[in-house]
Amino acid sequence: MTVTQTDTKSDADAPAPVEKEHLKRLLATGERPPAPSAFTSARVFAWRSMLKIKHVPEQLIDILIFPIMMLLMFTYLFGGAIAGGTVDYLQFLLPGIMVMSIVMTTMYTGMSVNIDINKGVSDRFRTLSIWRPAPMVGYLLADLFRYAAAGAIMFGTGMVMGYRPDGGAAGVLLGVALLLVFCFAFSWVWTWLGLITRSEKTVMSISMSIMFPLTFLSNIMVDPSTMPGWLQPVVKNTPISQLVDGVRGLFDGNVDSGSVLTTLIWSGGFIAVFGFLTIRAYNRR
């Protein structure tokens, strides 16, 4: 008697059978849209990062104010002491200070990645049927706009101050292109750092600890030949010094092909090593 009541109750609580034809009518019968290509996915995420700038324009302070402040400060504070005049020093300084200002802004890429991870946004991205590295590449593509804008602002300010590139427009464009390639590659270091650290403050502190010695131990503001003999080979062979030599040579019309090639090799190495580490860390989180 008890068994019969239990069976009856179980049958009543069981869900009604699903009719296949009825289910087909409820579901879409059209063709499933194709998955977006890698380029399309990266472009969408790049546009997402650009919209952040639109809604939070304060993010542009680092490319609107910081580069001009650096150029004015170093030119008029140290120009007379180092080169005997601000105009002569500006000819030497502008390519280097442009490299310094733009390379230092690459660290914000890692901070953006870390913020999205801590908010849980990256978890949603991983559930999408898209090219897996698309969010990371999107960050970097959007940041290329920031780098190009900072370069244009600094170069325009330098022209007003009296800078004249002997390499002409072609040399300037090639120099900026070399700088953008390096910054895109170097940004992979910070994307990986943003993935493996716990907070954006940690990303900032580690980035600054790396960037300050890397940029000041270079030929940005002074000729390495004025440094102690034991320090000169170290300074001349850092990736930042090679980049500055390449950009400065293109701007001045005296192309240093060795420095350009070395910079491209460094850029390829950064992408190969830290691109791999970034994707592996992103997949494991």
Convert the pLDDT of each residue in 134-157 to its tens digit: 888 888 888 888 888 888 988 999
> How high is the pLDDT of residue 159?
92
Structural domain contains residue 230? yes
In the chain, count of helices (H) and strands (E)?
Answer: 14, 0
> How high is the pLDDT of residue 2?
45
Averaged pLDDT for residues 15-41: 69
Tally the domains of the chain: 1
> How high is the pLDDT of residue 24?
65
- Rounded to the nearest angstrom, the gap between the alpha carbon of residue 195 and the centroid of all alpha carbons in its chain is 14
The answer to whether 167 and 251 are in contact (CB under 8 A) is yes
Neighbours of 285 (CB within 10 A): 10
Averaged pLDDT for residues 80-106: 88
Least confidently predicted of 6-10, 245-249, 258-262: 6-10
Averaged pLDDT for residues 248-270: 94
Structural domain contains residue 6? no
Least confidently predicted of 16-25, 56-65, 69-78, 241-250: 16-25
Residue 141's domain spans which residues?
38-284
Least confidently predicted of 28-42, 140-154, 183-197, 220-234: 28-42
Neighbours of 112 (CB within 10 A): 20
Structural domain contains residue 3? no
- Name which of 126, 92, 36 is nearest 225 in CA terms: 92
Structural domain contains residue 223? yes
Structural domain contains residue 77? yes
> How high is the pLDDT of residue 1?
45
Convert the pLDDT of each residue in 164-186 to its tens digit: 999 889 999 999 999 999 999 99
Structural domain contains residue 180? yes
What is the C-alpha to C-alpha distance for residues 141 and 184, in angstroms, rounded to an integer?
A: 8
Higher pLDDT, 62 or 263: 263
Averaged pLDDT for residues 262-281: 94
Q: Is the pLDDT of residue 25 over 50?
A: yes
Q: State what percent of residues in the chain have pLDDT above 70.
A: 87
Averaged pLDDT for residues 101-106: 89
Structural domain contains residue 33? no
Structural domain contains residue 11? no
Averaged pLDDT for residues 107-111: 86
Averaged pLDDT for residues 15-42: 70
Higher pLDDT, 268 or 32: 268
Q: Is the pLDDT of residue 261 over 80?
A: yes
Averaged pLDDT for residues 104-115: 87
The answer to whether 195 and 285 are in contact (CB under 8 A) is yes
DSSP letters, 115-144, are HHHHHTHHHHHHTSSS-TTHHHHHHHHHHH
